[in-house]
Amino acid sequence: MERTHHLPDIRTLSPKELSQVVSELGQPAFRAKQLNEWLFEKNVCSFEEMTNLPKAFREQLAEHFFFAVPTEVVKQVSKDGSRKYLLQFPDGVAVETVGMPSRNRLAVCISTQAGCNMGCAFCATGLAGLTRSLTAQEMVDQVVHVSRDLGERVTSVVFMGQGEPFANFNETVRALRMLNSEHGLNIGARHLTVSTCGIIPNIRAFADLPEQFTLAVSLHSAIQSTRNQLMPGVKKYTLVRLHEALQLYTEKTGRRPTYEFAMIEGINDTNPEMNALCDFCEGTLCHVNLIQLNDIPDSPFKPSPMKKVEELQRRLQMRGVETTIRNSRGSDIDAACGQLKQRKINVHLS
Ligand code: SF4
């Protein structure tokens, strides 16, 4: 399909504007409702698919509008069934999206920015800097792409791909609402998880949302100097303030945030690091996800051995902290964030 970039994306129109278009094109008012259903509930990406609209009307729409849906540039399929995509938007920027099917469930991990300026030391995306933030529709489009590719309904979405969602807060919240809406993808709020490095003002704003969206915080170390080294982008939001903000969050929402802890050999798997994490979590409402860092070629950071991961889990559990060891899915397919794009860039350069 030829792309017609000079036309507006029909999905950027408000319901009122859609009704206006319907009436200007001489159609009865109920067509606006049909159009809305095709666009936001059934998530089609062409006018041809809108089979209950008259052909002439569909042709008229196609003369005035287009669908700014992303193009699949690369797809990798893992032995465990997960799929990783590099999706490119009409302006040429590309992001990574991962689909993780399991029995009766389909989880999708989406990006919220093309690139990222948080500069996390262990992350390929962080090295390349920020290109631009994504719109809410572009976030939803990633979910729709995976759903169509696998022919399944998406049951949960994690905002954990490229980018810092809380550095693109308003569009992230809009995307959450589009995914949650019964006139959208209708995914339960608790099954929508946003992962932040810990941008405190937006943790507070997130706590004020009426919906029960889930919060995850990339912690990676509970010792300030290590965390500064690993995550320089959130240096100014100190661990003391973060701890405070998370207490307020749990008091206000009654919900349990998840702390992500990617274990890196010799960096955050030492005795003092383990003690500091236990102290940070003990007595608070939280759930810790321990994960072995992905083994990235040429990276100075190596995954901790499994026995260290298990040791940390034991220590946390002894202090009454709920903990899960997560498998890194798709480890055979460049699954760490930024790797696929990096590979693609390397391919282009070589
Ligand atoms: S880990 Fe996430 S927040 Fe950190 S640089 Fe990479 S994409 Fe950005």
**CA-based nearest residue to 60, from 31, 89, 90, 30:** 31
**Are 44 and 177 found together in one domain?**
no
pLDDT over 90 (residue 348): no
162 lines ligand 1 (CB under 6 A): yes
How many structural domains comprise the chain? 2
Structural domain includes residue 75: yes
Could you read off the pLDDT of 28-41 as tens digits, one per residue? 999 999 999 999 98
Inside any domain, residue 2: no
Task: Look at residue 236 in the predicted model and tell me its pLDDT.
Answer: 96
Q: Let me know: does 45 contact 9? Beta carbons within 8 Å.
A: no
Looking from the CA of residue 119, the nearest atom of ligand 1 is: 5
With tokens 């990406």, the residue in question is 45
Which of 334, 313, 249 has the alpha carbon at shortest distance from 285? 249
Mutate to test the pocket of ligand 1, among 95, 96, 116, 117 (most ligand atoms within 8 A of CB): 116
Same-domain check for residues 165 and 196: yes
- Residue 105 sits at φ, ψ, to 5 deg, of -135, 150
User: What is the domain-level CATH number for residue 33?
Assistant: 1.10.150.530
Using DSSP's 3-state secondary structure scheme, residue 125 falls into helix
CB 98 within 8 A of CB 86: no
Domain that holds residue 28: 10-64
Same domain, residue pair 342 and 234: yes
pLDDT interval class at 339 (50, 70, 90): low
d(CA 294, CA 226): 19
Q: How confident is the model at residue 337 (pLDDT cuts 50, 70, 90)?
A: low
Ligand 1 in reach of 139 Cβ (< 6 A) = no
Start-to-end Cα distance in the chain: 30
CATH no. for residue 320? 3.20.20.70
CB of 323 sitting under 6 A from ligand 1: no
SS3 content of the chain, % helix, strand, coil (to 5): 40, 20, 40
**HSE-up of residue 151 (Cα within 13 Å, Cβ side):** 0
Q: Is the CB of 336 under 6 A from ligand 1?
A: no
Residues 93 and 39 in one domain: no
* Between 327 and 23, the higher pLDDT residue: 23
- Looking from the CA of residue 163, the nearest atom of ligand 1 is 7
- Which ligand 1 atom sits closest to the C-alpha of 123? 6
Mean pLDDT (whole number) for 100-124: 93
Strands 71-77 and 83-88: antiparallel
Give the distance (Å) from ligand 1 centre to CA of residue 43. Answer: 29
96 three-class SS: strand
Instruction: Grade residue 340 by pLDDT with cuts at 50, 70 and 90.
Output: low
When mean pLDDT is compared over 4-18, 115-129, 274-288, the highest value belongs to 274-288
Closest CA to 140 of 130, 126, 125, 154: 154
